[in-house]
Chain A
Amino acid sequence: MVSPVPAAVASAANATGVAKAGIAFILKKSLISALVALVLFSLMIGVRTDVGTAGQLVYWTRFGELAAIVGAVFVGSILVELLRGWFGPREGVQLPQGVQRGLSWAGRLIGPAALVFALLLPVIFYDQRYILDLAILVLTYIMLGWGLNVVVGLAGLLDLGYVAFYAVGAYSYALLATNFGLSFWICLPLAGILAAFWGILLGFPVLRLRGDYLAIVTLAFGEIIRLVLLNWQDLTGGPNGISGIPRPTLFGIPLSSGEDGLAALLGIEFSPTHRIVFLFYLILALALITNWVTIRLRRLPIGRAWEAMREDEVACRALGINITTTKLTAFATGAMFGGFAGAFFATRQGFISPESFTFHESALVLAIVVLGGMGSQLGVAIAAVTLIGGFELFRGLDQYRMLVFGMAMVLLMIWRPRGLVGHRAPTVFLEHNRAIAADMVKEGRG
């Protein structure tokens, strides 16, 4: 009868011990972050240089600002760690059966509902040009996200230079259309094929690279493509880009106000919105094709080999799977979708220049894939809407937009480290189509 009391005391002491160790750990981690910030910012912020009146170098110190930044990093990392503890993913928390069933039911409805909404969107917002433009932008990123998802999400190959294929697609269409007068519908597959070809070309040198190394080389590849576009003046027009790119036609019928335009043929009054609506349905169709093909590929041997390669490359080799072709097809397929999206981008803008294809785009598309949950089609779509829509929503905040946005992303990743839709749906099943928990699924190292 006596023994439980000391045991309880001991366990309580133990618990506070753990809590103390936790605080010590958090403080240590934050202190290290603050130190790194101090080293990093002491030159960037602590010392300010300028050109004096006589052309000499003048400098002054800004220790106040430096202290503020380092303090912010310190407090911020304590906050992040605490949030991770309170708000992060909990193990063993089970929602009630009813709620779970309701959620999975709602989850299954979300896709079709979003599709119906997308199909009706031009009807609902016909005279709101801003919304239509935004929807086209969002759909472009959904398509890019789905394309990159093949490489990063399914095959587990971290690609930081995806924008290169977007650029190859855009320039392929622009050059073929302006130089040879080929129509959009001929150029579109060509742009995809050329991008896929560049995907394979990138694939070869990185076949043996894994993880961080792969990321760095693909990043460099993206920059190389951009720099070539910038410097190959004769072909690409350099920084001036290419203008006067033909607009897409509806199987040869232009969407213009002229005699032979679609409006005149149909006998309705011409409106510039027609073209926007047409572009909307075009990118919607392209995105849906991307989605359909990806879903089909996952259930084919090639898609299963991609996922198996992400899970365990050595085991794949032992099963007779050629890792070289498996990696190259993943790169090529992802690049092809990027190329299609690029061709669409060129025809929508009518003007392209290397400025549209900076690393920023690659990072954004990768953020969409990671935030959505690697490998999940629905997650990627939701993430694209959230990210691109979020950018617009926070537009009023001017220079704080990126700050708010970054903070929102950090919170989201603390709450769901494996993305919005982290679990994996099996590609084939006998009896039960059970989703596989995120912690079981590998993220790939190569």
Chain B
Amino acid sequence: MSNDHILVVDQLMMRFGGIIAVGGLSFTAKHGEITALIGPNGAGKTTVFNCITGFYRPSGGELRLTHPGGATFQLEKLNDFRICKIAKVARTFQNIRLFPGMTALENLMVAQHNALMRASGMTFLGLFGVPSWRAAEQRAIDRAKFWLDRVGLIARADDAAGNLPYGDQRRLEIARAMCTEPALLCLDEPAAGLNARESAGLNELLLSIRAEHGTSVLLIEHDMSVVMEISDHVIVLDHGTKIADGTPRAVRDDPKVIAAYLGVEDDEVAAVERELGQ
């Protein structure tokens, strides 16, 4: 069964001192799907991302990643940079983390570090500009150009990333993550701070990433229009545990989800459930 799942999260637990940010969370994400992770503020969504991408070492549980080719990785045992380098998981950050003093193009070149490092013979061949290195560098520039074009930033390729408007920075960060050629792309609130037009553009971009590159996407998002429109599967978190799991439509109508977002008490939820006859 796990073959059609790119990510299987099993009893994930993350404690910070006395705080349990994520308590025994289990969910799965399918290959080639957009899986959304939603929940109110402080639900533990970013903490789950930090566990998946190796920034936190989970206090317990398992994170199993399976590539389309069949290779599997236990993410909770990998070092942070290996999760991107070997397991091919890329991410963006809730508060954008670009390299502000480098150009948009340079940002995308840095993302291809590992491939370029190999091509430059661990720097030594590159130092003397051997032809194979030059060709590899040109390919990297072409890939960067491709992604700059896809996110509509080709005209700003030579501008400092820190000088770009907010919406452009968000898209550049996605392009940078895609330049690592990920199997799983984790996006932490990519639509935050975007206007309606930019948000629609983002939807299109994510759908085309899924369709054309076969990249599976894990998406944290507060903007329900984005979640409803593009996600195949939604997982709802509250206080570090899963409260609902299903298609966007099913989750939207789930009284527990509505209650969690409205912040009502549990017994009231029970009352709502009774009323609805569940």
Asked if A427 is at the interface (CB within 8 A of a chain B CB), the reply is yes
| B99 partner residues in chain A, CB cutoff 8 A | 307-308, 311-312, 315
Does B100 interact with chain A (Cβ within 8 Å)?
yes
**Interface: B176 (CB within 8 A):** yes
Counting residue pairs across A and B whose Cβ atoms lie within 8 Å, the total is 133
Chain A residues with CB below 8 A from B129, complex form? 296
Q: Does A321 contact B (CB under 8 A)?
A: yes
Partner of A315, one of B85, B98, B116, B120: B98
B contacts with A, residue count (CB < 8 A):
46
Name the contact of A301 in the complex, choosing from B116, B154, B159 (C-beta under 8 A): B116
B225 at the interface (CB under 8 A from A): no
CB-contact partner of A319 in B100, B103, B159, B180, under 8 A: B180
Asked if A317 contacts B80 (CB within 8 A), the reply is yes
B73 within 8 A of A: no
A64 interface residue (CB < 8 Å to B): no
Asked if A412 lies at the interface with its beta carbon under 8 angstroms from chain B, I say: no
Cβ contacts under 8 Å, A293 to chain B: 127
B127 touches A296 (CB 8 A): yes
Q: Does A9 contact B (CB under 8 A)?
A: no
A433 within 8 A of B: yes
On whether the beta carbons of A304 and B113 are closer than 8 Å, the reply is: yes
Indicate if B160 sits at the interface (CB-CB under 8 A): yes
Binds A, one of B2-10, B89-97, B235-243, B261-269: B89-97
Binds B, one of A228-236, A265-273, A436-444: A436-444
Cα distance A316–B177 in the bound complex, in angstroms? 11
Is A90 in the interface zone, CB < 8 Å from B?
A: no
Contact with B along A403-446 (1 / 0, CB 8 A): 00000000000000000000010111111111011001110000
Given the interface pairs A301-B117, A430-B157, the reply to whether A424 lies near B109 with Cβ below 8 Å is: no
Contact A320 B114 (CB under 8 A): yes
Residues of chain A contacted by B162 (CB below 8 angstroms): 440
* B101 and A436 form a contact (CB under 8 A): yes
**What is the number of residues of chain A that contact chain B, defined by CB distance less than 8 Å?**
37
In the complex, what distance in Å separates the CA atom of A424 from the CA atom of B106?
12
- Name the contact of B160 in the complex, choosing from A427, A430, A433, A440 (C-beta under 8 A): A440
B260 within 8 A of A: no
Q: Which residues of A contact B113 (CB under 8 A)?
A: 301, 304-305, 308, 319-321
| Residues on the B chain within 8 Å of A314, using CB | 55, 93, 97
What 1/0 flags go to B125-146 for Cβ under 8 Å of A? 0110100000000000100010
* Contact indicator B84/A319 (Cβ below 8 Å): yes
| CB contact under 8 A between A318 and B91, given known A426-B102, A427-B106 | yes
CA distance A434 to B127 in the complex (A): 24
In the bound complex, residues from chain B placing their C-beta under 8 Å from that of A320 are 81-85, 113-114, 180
Residue ranges of A at the interface with B (Cβ–Cβ < 8 Å): 293, 296-297, 300-302, 304-305, 307-308, 311-312, 314-323, 424, 426-434, 436-437, 440-442
Which 3 pairs across A and B sit closest by C-beta, in order of nearness? A441-B101, A320-B84, A320-B85
Q: Given A318-B84, A441-B100, list of 14 further CB < 8 A pairs?
A: A297-B127, A300-B126, A301-B116, A301-B120, A301-B123, A307-B99, A311-B102, A312-B100, A314-B93, A317-B55, A320-B82, A322-B85, A424-B101, A429-B158
